[in-house]
A = this chain, B = another copy of it.
Amino acid sequence: MLYPNALTIQKVMTTRNNTEGWRESQPQALIQTSVGNLLTSRVTCSRSGKEKNFYRFDFPAWVNIVALTPEQKILMIRQYRFGSGKMEWEIPGGAVEDGEQPLAAGLRELLEETGYEGENGRIIGSVCPNPALQNNSCYTVLVENVQRISPQNLDEMEDISVEPMAIDEVMNMVKQGTLTHGLVLNGLLFYFMTHRPDIFF
Residues of A participating in the B interface, judged by any CB pair closer than 8 Å: 2, 16-17, 19-22, 24, 30-31, 33-35, 38, 40-41, 43, 45-48, 50, 52-57, 80-88, 90, 126-135, 137-138, 154, 156-159, 168, 171, 174-175, 177, 180-183, 185-186, 188-189, 192-193, 196, 199-201
Beta-carbon contact of A81 and B185 below 8 Å = no
Beta-carbon contact of A16 and B134 below 8 Å = no
Beta-carbon contact of B19 and A2 below 8 Å = no
Pull 27 A–B residue pairs with CB atoms less than 8 Å apart, ordered by A.
Answer: A17-B85, A19-B87, A20-B87, A21-B159, A33-B40, A38-B38, A41-B82, A43-B82, A43-B157, A45-B159, A46-B80, A46-B159, A47-B154, A48-B156, A57-B83, A82-B132, A83-B131, A83-B135, A84-B131, A128-B180, A128-B181, A130-B181, A168-B201, A175-B193, A182-B182, A185-B185, A189-B189
- What residues on B are CB-neighbors of A196 within 8 Å? 199
- How far apart are the CA atoms of A55 and B38 in the complex, in Å? 12
- What residues on B are CB-neighbors of A200 within 8 Å? 171, 192
Beta-carbon contact of A131 and B81 below 8 Å = yes
Beta-carbon contact of A157 and B201 below 8 Å = no
- How far apart are the CA atoms of A82 and B24 in the complex, in Å? 8
Beta-carbon contact of B40 and A127 below 8 Å = no
Would A199 and B201 be within 8 Å (CB), given that A81-B132, A133-B35 are in contact?
Answer: no
Beta-carbon contact of A182 and B47 below 8 Å = no
